[in-house]
Amino acid sequence: MVKGIDILEKKDDFNDIFTKTGTMAYERQQNLSEVIGENNCEINFEDGLLVFPDNEFPMQIIGSLSQKEEKWSWAWDNDDVGFPQILLEDVNKIKKIGEEYNIPEFSNSILTNVNIDVAHILLMTVAPLVDADAYYAVDAGDLILFVTIHSDEIPTNEDLDKFSHNYNDFQIDYPVNARKALKGYTILKGYEFVDREDFSMAKTGQQRVIVGFSDRGKVTNIQTMK
């Protein structure tokens, strides 16, 4: 089974990692939405649970965003709050990755000029690295608490049409290297990645998704073969 950290390389910066992990996170958020719909949740800190009307998910606390100050705080720096250590395993892994790979966005306790969109990009970057099945933002007014979820109740999706749509939507919505994004998504899915000069391919069994690229690296076509 592929681990999120398996895609990391020493030369990667934050944008490289987001490019590799973002589509996987995008897919997993859709999987979560299929389960919870539009329902809101309550937090049970004592038991470490996100409690929805029909589901309960184990959570890990990642960080918080002050929307007024546009300030992000990683949960590993929480002496004034006192989060239980058992709920900080994921964020401590993120800090360790930041220190090992020299990613200041992971290892600096406070990040400034972070709005809600940037906060979601942070979570889309780190959630797959700790093999989370999804993440969730708990709105508490100005402060938004972000957590990761690990649960078998969140389904996976191996449909290659969905794979193609997820990849295409992600590389359109975000200014990323489209070929690198395909490689990262393919590897995290556990598929085989094949790279050629003018196209790349994600392959699983006899099925494949072939993506053509222009000389400038833009996606020119996507073909799914089942």
Same structural domain, 137 and 76: yes
CA neighbours closer than 13 Å in the CB half-sphere of residue 189: 31
Q: Based on the domain organization, do 126 and 50 belong to the same domain?
A: yes
Residues 31 and 141 in one domain: yes
**pLDDT > 90: what percent of the chain?**
88
pTM: 0.94
Q: What contacts 11, CB < 8 A, 6 or more positions away? A: none
Grouping H, G, I as helix, E, B as strand and the rest as coil, residue 159 is coil
Helix, strand counts (H, E) of the chain: 6, 11
Q: Are residues 188 and 79 part of one domain?
A: no
Query: What's the confidence (pLDDT) of residue 120?
Result: 98
Beta bridge partners of 9: none
pLDDT confidence of residue 82: 77
Amino acid at site 171: Q
Q: What is the pLDDT of residues 17-45, one digit of tens each?
A: 999 999 999 999 999 999 998 888 889 99
| 163 located within any domain | no
Q: Each residue of 77-117: pLDDT tens digit?
A: 876 777 889 999 999 999 999 999 999 999 999 999 999 99
184 and 139 belong to one structural domain: no
- The predicted-structure confidence for 112-154, as pLDDT tens digits, reads as follows 999 999 999 999 999 999 999 999 999 988 899 999 999 999 9
> How far is the C-alpha of 98 from the C-alpha of 88, rounded, in Å?
15
Tell me the CA end-to-end span of the chain in Å, nearest whole number: 23
Question: Which residue matches tokens 């892994």?
Answer: 93
User: Does a structural domain hold residue 157?
Assistant: no
Identify whether residues 98 and 192 lie together within a single domain: no
Under 8 Å between Cβ of 36 and 75: no
Q: Do 51 and 95 fall into the same domain?
A: yes
| Coil, strand or helix at 51 | strand
Task: Give the range of the structural domain holding residue 133, as residue numbers without chain letter.
Answer: 4-149
108 and 36 in a single domain? The answer is yes
Using the predicted structure, report yes or no on whether residue 188 has a pLDDT greater than 80: yes
- Statement to judge: residues 142 and 210 lie in one domain: no
- Cβ neighbors of 100 (< 8 A, separation 6 or more) are none
Chosen domain end from 149, 168, 201 = 149
* Tally of domains in the chain: 2
Q: Residues 142, 41: one domain?
A: yes
162 in a domain, yes or no?
no
- Residue 47 CB neighbours (<10 A): 10
Per-residue pLDDT at 79: 66
Same domain, 108 and 209: no
- Alpha-carbon 69 to chain mean position: 24
**Distance between alpha carbon 52 and the CA centroid of its chain, in Å?**
21
